[in-house]
Homo-oligomer: A and B are copies of this chain.
Amino acid sequence: MPKIVDHDARRREIIGVVWRLVAEEGIQSVTTRRIAEAAGFANGALLYYFPNKDAVLTAAFQHIFDATNQRADRADGNRRGLAGLRTLCQEIMPLDDERVTEARLAITFWQQALNSPEKAAIHARFMNQWRAEMSDRLREACADGEIPDLSSVDAVVDELLSMLMGLQILGVLSPNEATPQRQLAQLDEFFARLRGDVRG
């Protein structure tokens, strides 16, 4: 009987190993050989799943995006309005070790995307998926009377997304300033403004 292999599970297993390796040791020092070793695979078996380091990194970035969304789903499966928006934001922000590790990998992916139109397109696609979800949550918040009508939903989404992306960098590289506490205070301030509260 042929051996039954759950290829999806194996891909996930490899990605799990990889994204920690990349985040902890840096993309420079991670080779397909090193990945195979850490995952307990023969090098040839690894290549069946990922032909090169580029493919591995792209899969790891996809994994971060999926993991972030899945955590938000677990925290609030029926995200709606302001509460739903906050849930998504908190899962994107580098507030704990897991999310800091994700941010480290995101920064690696961005650098690689500078000279890869394909990776840049993946990044833009993910950003646009988040933009769309954020816009939906804001429209719900307006419809539900949680916040006053917005003259431009896009402008608020621009503001939120740039804050969240900036926190990826500052949370990793300026941890003394961008502490979890100060990151959350910033998010609170953003939501207070949305509700029309005056800056204190």
Contact = CB atoms under 8 A, between A and B. Distances in A.
Interface of A: 25-29, 104, 107-108, 110-111, 113-115, 120, 123-124, 127-128, 131, 148, 150-151, 154-155, 158-159, 161-170, 172-174, 176-178, 182, 185-186, 189, 193, 196, 198-200
The number of times this chain is found in the oligomer is 2
- Chain A interface main SS type: helix
Contacts of A167: 162, 166
A128 B177 contact: yes
Which interface residue of A159, A169, A196 has the most chain B CB atoms within 10 A? A169
A189 B123 contact: no
A178 B120 CA distance: 14
| The 9 A-B residue pairs with the shortest CB-CB distance in the complex, in nearest-first order | A166-B166, A162-B166, A165-B166, A111-B111, A26-B115, A151-B200, A165-B169, A162-B163, A123-B173
Among A27, A123, A150, A174, max chain B CB count under 10 A is at: A174
A174 B111 contact: no
B114 A185 contact: no
A196 B197 CA distance: 11
26 contacts: A26-B114, A27-B111, A104-B114, A107-B107, A110-B169, A111-B111, A114-B172, A114-B173, A123-B173, A124-B173, A124-B174, A127-B177, A128-B177, A150-B199, A155-B182, A158-B177, A159-B163, A161-B166, A161-B170, A162-B162, A162-B163, A162-B186, A163-B163, A164-B166, A165-B170, A166-B169
A113 B131 CA distance: 29
Tell me which of A104, A150, A164, A170 has the highest count of chain B C-beta atoms within 10 A of its own C-beta.
A170
